[in-house]
Chain A
Amino acid sequence: MNWFLPSLMWRALAPVAMTLLVSVGANLPSQAQTQNQPPSPARSRSEEMLDRWNDIGNKLIVMAQDFPEDKYDFKVQKDERTFALNLLHAAALDFVLIRRISGSNLGPDFGEGDNPSRDLFKTKADVVKFVQEAVANGAKVIQEQGDAGLDNTTKFFGNRLAHYSNIWAFAIEHSGEHYGQLVVYYRANNLVPPDTRRKNQ
């Protein structure tokens, strides 16, 4: 699912753009060659959602594992979250939404703003573990609730009912936003984001 280019790998634009075109179904020879093969079975809605959840969640986990611990408190500008606080915030919001959807008390509750203090997650290992737990718990709930769960509704942002599918999408988008910020943090430290390294291999 890497057909849409992360901007900071622009140096590798041309070859990746070609991959992108192939992926989205342009009429290129590689796709024509596969037309005679039996199609893989269609996945369910919840499997599709799980795929997207794990995709962005694992990108954050890999970043958390990859970034040097001595730079965990780095930030590009003064009025924003550090690298570690970005990760903690993304994971904390995941837990808020997981609790809402599952009706359980999974994960810690940090109150308004979903901004856990670094005092509670002092080491890189603590942060990595927290992000891993958020992604794993969300995946578990998506799997357990299946397709039917995506059509359930709950109050979301005031008095509006939202389908669980919409809330999962919101969590995925929110993680995507913080992922984008951390990509810039990487480059500020002369580091290449892991996903870009993987694609360039």
Chain B
Amino acid sequence: MKRTQIFMLSAVLMVCALASWRLSKSVAAASSPQQPSQPAPALAANIDRQVSRVEKLIVDVAEAMPEDKFNFTPESLKIPGSDYTGVLTFAGQVKHVAAGNYLIWSTVMGDKLAEELFNDGRGPDNLKRKAEIVQFLKDSFALGHKAAATLTPENMLQSAGRSTRISMATFCVEEAYNHYGQMVEYLRMNGIVPPASREKSN
């Protein structure tokens, strides 16, 4: 009888201890705030993130295209029923994005553009090799980061070209996405899965 009482008492104490531990754990969880969200970045940082996003996508597709395909254009595929006459080559797309970056980000900063960098949207004619073209692209995005850093709530609605600085900045990134979309198609036409799609399927 005595042994039974000791056993029962031990069991009750164990249950109480377990309940107490679980209760304290749940109270601690409820009273400590959830992991705080990271704060939203300021305007300049916001635009900078946008530049970074499209920069990574476009630099990655440029790197993914083999050098011997850099002058690829869909015209060469002679797809029945298509007409790609005179469209940009892959290299032309990359240089065009970079030239546009130079033009628009310079405008956002109120700087005068060196004409040879834009060259009617073609970028410098002397850039032929993949490494040179990719470097030109990267340098143009570096200017984008520099321009983004100058944007503040006070100056973002200032006139730039026919529009405002903030609108130009948004437009520049948006247009880069347009060309990214075209470059993705050029890659796929060569049997290459765009790097961003590879990441998603992994």
- Listed in ascending order, the chain A residues whose CB lies under 8 Å from chain B are 1, 3-8, 10-11, 13-14, 17, 20, 23-26, 39, 42-45, 48-49, 51-52, 56, 76-77, 79-80, 153, 155, 159-163, 165-166, 169-170, 172-174, 176-185, 187-190
* A-side contacts of B172, CB under 8 Å: 4
Contact of A7 among B46, B87, B160 (CB under 8 A): B87
Q: Are B156 and A45 in contact (CB under 8 A)?
A: yes
Contact of A190 among B83, B92, B96 (CB under 8 A): B83
CB of B38 within 8 A of chain A?
Answer: yes
- Give CA–CA (A17, B107) in the complex, Å: 15
Q: Kindly supply a per-residue 1/0 record for chain B positions 76-112, scoring 1 wherever the CB is within 8 Å of any chain A CB and 0 otherwise.
A: 0001011111111000110010001001100100000
* A-side contacts of B100, CB under 8 Å: 4-5
Q: Are A188 and B79 in contact (CB under 8 A)?
A: yes
Q: In chain B between 130 and 173, which residues have their CB closer than 8 angstroms to a CB of chain A?
A: 156-157, 159-164, 166-168, 170-173
Q: Are B50 and A169 in contact (CB under 8 A)?
A: yes
Distance to closest chain A CB from B71 (angstroms)? 14
- Closest B-chain residue to A153, C-beta based? B40
* A-side contacts of B160, CB under 8 Å: 24-25
* B-side contacts of A153, CB under 8 Å: 40
The verdict on A8 contacting B185 (CB below 8 Å), with A24-B104, A173-B174 known, is no
Distance to closest chain A CB from B97 (angstroms)? 9
In the A-B complex, the 10 residue pairs with the smallest Cβ-Cβ separation, listed nearest first, are: A180-B181, A176-B177, A24-B161, A25-B161, A184-B185, A17-B120, A7-B88, A180-B178, A181-B181, A161-B40
Q: Are B38 and A160 in contact (CB under 8 A)?
A: yes
- Give CA–CA (A162, B40) in the complex, Å: 5
Q: Are A20 and B103 in contact (CB under 8 A)?
A: yes
Q: Are A188 and B74 in contact (CB under 8 A)?
A: yes
- Give CA–CA (A17, B104) in the complex, Å: 13
CB-based A-B contact count at 8 angstroms: 180
Q: Can you offer 18 A-B residue contacts whose CB atoms are under 8 A?
A: A1-B162, A4-B100, A5-B121, A7-B93, A20-B121, A45-B157, A51-B167, A56-B174, A79-B193, A160-B37, A162-B40, A163-B46, A170-B50, A180-B183, A184-B186, A188-B84, A190-B82, A190-B83
CB of B175 within 8 A of chain A?
Answer: yes
Distance to closest chain B CB from A78 (angstroms)? 9
Q: Are A187 and B181 in contact (CB under 8 A)?
A: no
Q: Are A176 and B178 in contact (CB under 8 A)?
A: yes
- Give CA–CA (A184, B82) in the complex, Å: 10
Contact of B164 among A42, A80, A182, A184 (CB under 8 A): A42
Q: Are A52 and B170 in contact (CB under 8 A)?
A: yes
Q: Are B181 and A48 in contact (CB under 8 A)?
A: no
- Give CA–CA (A24, B54) in the complex, Å: 22
Q: Are B92 and A7 in contact (CB under 8 A)?
A: yes
- Give CA–CA (A159, B37) in the complex, Å: 5
* B-side contacts of A14, CB under 8 Å: 120
Distance to closest chain A CB from B4 (angstroms)? 54
Given contacts A13-B120, A52-B170, A184-B185, 4 further A-B contacts (CB under 8 A): A7-B87, A11-B85, A17-B121, A166-B50
- Closest B-chain residue to A42, C-beta based? B157
* A-side contacts of B168, CB under 8 Å: 24
Q: In chain B between 171 and 202, which residues have their CB closer than 8 angstroms to a CB of chain A?
A: 171-186, 188-189, 193
Distance to closest chain B CB from A200 (angstroms)? 12
* A-side contacts of B46, CB under 8 Å: 162-163, 165-166, 169
CB of B22 within 8 A of chain A?
Answer: no
Contact of B177 among A45, A180, A190 (CB under 8 A): A180
